[in-house]
Structure 1
Amino acid sequence: MKIIVYGVKPDELAYFEAWQKTHDQPLSLHSELLDEKTVAWARGFDGVNCLQTTPYSAAVFAQLAEFGIHFLTIRNVGLDNLDLAAAKQNKIRIANVPAYSPSAIAEFAVTMTLYLLRRLGETRAPLAAGHWNQAASFLGRELGQSTVGVVGAGRIGQAAIRLFAGFGANVLAYDPHPGHPEPRATYVSLKQLLAESDVVDLHVPGIPANDHLIDDAALTLMKQNAVLINTARGNLVDTTALLKHLRAGHLGGAGIDTYEHESPALLRYEQTGKFTDPQWEELAQLPNVLLTPHVAYHTETAVENMVNFSLANLVRFLTKGEAPDEIMIK
């Protein structure tokens, strides 16, 4: 059995190499993403392993099927960038890694929250200019005296609830399918959560039903000076509306790790030097906005689990015809 791996990052290499030493299946590692051009490299392989936020298109699935490849495993959770209908049509089965490290993302959300509540971004420019008194003038807020609304109370959301509650915050939660509710949160409607929270923290999937979940109407409901944190998926937040409320001074700040227009051009900016996105540029200039490059998951624990769990899924697909984390495509 031969496995081709796409989207390999430098920090993943050691884990792929360690896996290879204990397994017989050869790996062909590539830093490039899986797209209409690179899919040709998969000819002659039995399974594909990937990590990317850019689209897995219908054309890619059709080409994989033509090569006789019917198993794809991804090293992350999100499925919103996969054309699942095309995967099903081409009889390609998919597995993800639903719980590589909920704590990694939850901790990052808390980190962003503390940064914004204590207004650290606003101190940087005056301090760099030598204006000590101005830099020391920004009055912060305490997380322990705040109400935090966690939208989405799955594995990651529940980890976030526990951390926020540990700081002494009053935690509200909204989840249309709560499962086993986390006792450290009070479960309320989304409307109530938005209206009462000083911090709104998003942990829901980027499915079409959640597209622009935080739109102009939702932002209008939020408290004056509230903070929005998005470490989930970019499509959850209407960036045009977000900028409107930041410009107006209604929002106190925003932490954006997953950007709505996260395009191949943005991801390849370092290599090409070409990327124009006025909204990204405006957000980057605001001292009460913290932009990060989709790294909330990025810890040693998470990366190791993403590699090992996704490859375990693929080996199970290839040897047993099933995988523990297979996605049931409707």
Structure 2
Amino acid sequence: MRIALAPMEGLVDDVMRDVLTRMGGVDWCVTEFVRVTETLLPPKYYHRLAPELLNGAVTAVGTPVRLQLLGSDPTCLAENAARAAELGAPVIDLNFGCPAKCVNRHRGGAVLLTEPDLLHAIVSTVRAAVPSKIPVTAKMRLGYEDKSLAIECAQALAMGGAAELVVHARTKVEGYQPPAYWHWIALIKAAVACPVVANGEIWTVEDYLACRAESGCDDVMLGRGLVARPDLARQIKQHLAGQPVAPMHWHELVPVLQRFVGQVAGKVEGKHAPGRLKQWLSMLRQHYPEAGWLFERIRAVKAVPDIQAILAGLQVDEPLVC
């Protein structure tokens, strides 16, 4: 079975991809979406969102990175897909799942699930524009306002030439609220010939097993669940291999946080770097009480050197008192 790291705008950039793939268990990643409108984007735009293209399209530990495009114009998407292929993208992924209002308002992401014919046109036009050795894949939700077109949309993507579908088991309107409707993925899987990857509401090994049973998919894409529990992919694979599951302890995560801050500080403007750590800690505290304690300790800290000093002096056995 395979596990993918989901593309999450504003959260999973190249730094987070590097951090999470170092944990093990992730078979491939997908970039944040490249927004395509009416122009052929310059190479520097791709390199900014996917600097791994300059390193063979893999993370530091060798995990392949697929490049995702988002838009609604088949011809323009095809031209940009061809450019991405020239720059070394090993797979072109198409986004039909983003629920963001600003994206949907400009005919991108999940809103296109109301137009199956357009989905087919986009995939088939992109498929024709890139070398045959480069797969074209797609990520979709179960629909925009409802699930009435879920099967038709999946079939349109598959018949258009999608080599693989990732299905987030909720509609745009359902957003990220539990539950995820995994049984709908089973219906889609039965209706298309291409491989299907399940996505949505997988936070634990037990969630993975439940999703597999209900969706019929061995392969999954992990998003928020992997960010909140960075070794989740490794845990799943340990379980499936019949090995003892060894969850990561807080003291093992502290050096990871230190490296993360250093990498973020080298990439983004200094005043924004602390916010990235706070964003991650707010998710980590779902499983690590220590992350909540650390979040409170740095809540008012705004300078990267001050954050780094706190992390450097952190004692992992400190009492969890805010």
Larger helix proportion, structure 1 or 2? Answer: 2
Q: Tell me if both proteins adopt one fold, taking TM over 0.5 as the criterion.
A: no
Compare CA radii of gyration and give the structure with the larger one.
1
**TM-score with structure 2 setting the length:** 0.30
Structure showing greater relative contact order (alpha-carbon pairs closer than 8 Å, 6 or more residues apart): 1
